[in-house]
Amino acid sequence: MTDDEAGFAEFVAGRQAALSRTAYLLTGDHHLAQDLVQAALLQAAKHWRRIHTSPEAYVRRAMYHQNISWWRRRRHVTEMSLGAYDGASTSPDTDLRLTLDEALGHLTTKQRTVLVLRFYEDLTEVETARALGLSTSTVKSTTRHALARLRTLAPELAELIGADA
């Protein structure tokens, strides 16, 4: 195994769980999340020599862009959810998680992506705009509309969203 291959394998082993969590939040589906991570890691592997100094930023950006590309391709296709069939959660906050998951499922892909970057990835509005290739004002308005929609769809999430957000 070369040094490049070893470095890539070490990166994947160390960051795959965090990347998978972000991918799930972006897609809302465990299987699509796995596909998204694999597609981004494939791109990273191809360009490892160039990106090895900051691979996580590259992989995350690849995930954001790939998710948007997938959304654009399938936005005219009607999908039926099979529901959660991966097993029961053992989390004590299962009701809250299910409520949040259902509410996020009613957002557009753009709204969901902006919220994930802003509040899960903790990016600023400017960083989110740069990552998605949008203007800062578009990120602000998308965030505002997405939070308003969440307040309408799941008022019980108000404590998570915050009264002044």
pTM, two decimal places? 0.60
Phi, psi of 164 (to 5 degrees): -105, 5
CA 97/CA 116 separation, integer angstroms: 15
CA 34/CA 13 separation, integer angstroms: 14
Confidence of residue 10 (pLDDT cuts 50, 70, 90): very high
For residue range 15-53, list pLDDT tens digits in order. Answer: 999 999 999 988 888 999 999 999 999 999 999 989 878
Amino acid at position 25, single letter: L
| Residue 89 neighbours by CB distance under 10 Å | 12
